[in-house]
Amino acid sequence: MFSSGEYAAGATVPDTKLAREATDLVRDSTTELIYHHSRRVFWFGSLQGRNRGLSFDPELLYLGAMFHDIGVNRQFRSSGRRFTALHPRPDFKRRILQAFTKGIAAKPETTFGNVKADVLEQFLPGYQRANFVDMIENSDWWPE
């Protein structure tokens, strides 16, 4: 059931017929996990847009967020038309790794504990992975 005008952190779910129908369709045809993930995509996208001073159509953002992962649902996966076949990804492996590297090279400290450390270790000369033990031993949290 759609709750019109839901508001959080300065963003409001659009209260339009199309938004309500999209909500109902996604809720009825996907898992709770996908439904809530899609809603979070809208909230985070709205907040990022606002924080960056961007103008955007909230209804269009909501629809894009709600439908962006609907293809993982079994009903849509088995349609016989594979999404990747419709939208080829030439040289995808190399290009996605380049995009990750470019996106995180300037902030390597954000890679601690996640797979992006693997990317920088492979593609950023001089990158040195943070070590949890070293962090504890060199911290000033507890005096010796």
Kindly report, residue by residue over 104-142, the tens digit of the pLDDT: 999 998 898 889 999 999 999 999 998 888 888 888 876
Q: pTM for the complete prediction? A: 0.58
24 CB-near residues (< 8 Å, 6+ apart): 1, 2
Judged against a pLDDT cut of 60, whether residue 2 lies above it is answered with no
What pLDDT digit, counting tens, does each position of 4-18 carry?
A: 567 677 788 999 999
> For residue 23, which of 38, 2, 4 has the smallest C-alpha distance?
2
Give the model's pLDDT for residue 82: 59
Element (H, E) at 95: helix 92-104
23 by Cβ neighbours in 10 Å (0-12 / 13-18 / 19+) ranks as: buried
CA–CA dist 28, 35 (Å, integer):
9
CA–CA dist 113, 72 (Å, integer):
27
